[in-house]
Structure 1
Amino acid sequence: MRPSPEEALVKLLEGNRRFLAGEQSHPRANIEIRRQLTLGQEPLACILGCADSRVPPQLIFDQVIGDLFMVRVAGNVLDDVVIGSIEFAVAVLETPLVMVLGHQNCGAVRAAIEHKDKIGHLRNLTERIEPVFACCKDPNDPEEVAQINAKEVAKRLRLESLLATRIEAGQLKVVAAYYEMHHGTVQILSES
């Protein structure tokens, strides 16, 4: 049976506590788990997270292969492909939780703040973060920008009709969260 949106969030936060305590319960995926996953997937949550190699959601939430449907893009920004991927997780896989996971020391956020947009297609990325500056007390503070960015992305996702319908029916929760790399903790910033 699928967990409720609330149960899915509790399971992720419990996994983060195990991660912090060094008591991971899923150190490796065994052969039987991999065999089961060839029959299909029922992820506990969809995580929209940054592509940063220092922020591995399966580890920081102590989840095994198949538990998380991952959508990763630098700066956890939205475009039609990202939204389509999230809608796939929700509509096809019936995932009860979508988490937008921002993080400390985000390079994409720093690039937007420092206007490092002259490098190839980086401009396409930074221009999706820059509107968040208007919502910040200090638009030069990368940690504030990363947190506000996660909240704004979650807010926008909640307005997508497919997601909004499921939120209203109690079948889905969309949360914004922030990973503090120094401590390993995940803080919930906003919930639907």
Structure 2
Amino acid sequence: MTLLGRLLRNRRAGETHLSWNLPNLQGPGLFTLASEEFGPEGPLARTHCAKHVGGEDLSPHLEWTALPPGTAQLLLVVEDVDVPMAKPAVHCVALIDPATGHLPRGALAAKRPGSGVRPLRSTVGRGYHGPGPIKGHGPHRYVFQLYALAAPVGDVPGATPVDRARPRALLAGFTAPVLGRARLTGVYER
């Protein structure tokens, strides 16, 4: 597996197709997203990594500063921008009640999400899926992006329900105005 990682070392998705750069997810204001467990560009603990690399697939603690007035719902997207594919791998998509104030460790679990958390479909499945990059591929950046939406996300009549939509189609189809956004990047390497 290390050989494969070395062979693909220069192939990375990059930030071009990151949800942060989608025109419909642009917002006028920024707020701050932080974690007690890692800092900006800091290493993610193995606890937050995929089980196949010895982790527990536990989402990290996340907290944010005061949200923009009028925030009806939060959208959280976690993407690996260094995966050797054409687009970043979506590790988590979730809708969050802004009244929660923060997410404790493990709150993004598919089977037992935290209060006010609605895990949606990601590239791998529902809920949070931790880092598990190819061994020897180098450091991978996992971008946690939080969007403050002016209206709650609901099913669109005649369209795929939000809970069943593929992540890229879902992210490209958001129409609720974004009032603000924040991001925090963690790094993991095998």
Instruction: Give the TM-score category using the shorter length.
Output: under 0.3
Q: Normalized per residue, which structure has more helix? A: 1
TM-score, normalised with respect to structure 2:
0.24
TM-score, normalised with respect to structure 1:
0.24
Q: Structure with the greater relative contact order (CA < 8 A, sep ≥ 6): 1 or 2?
A: 2
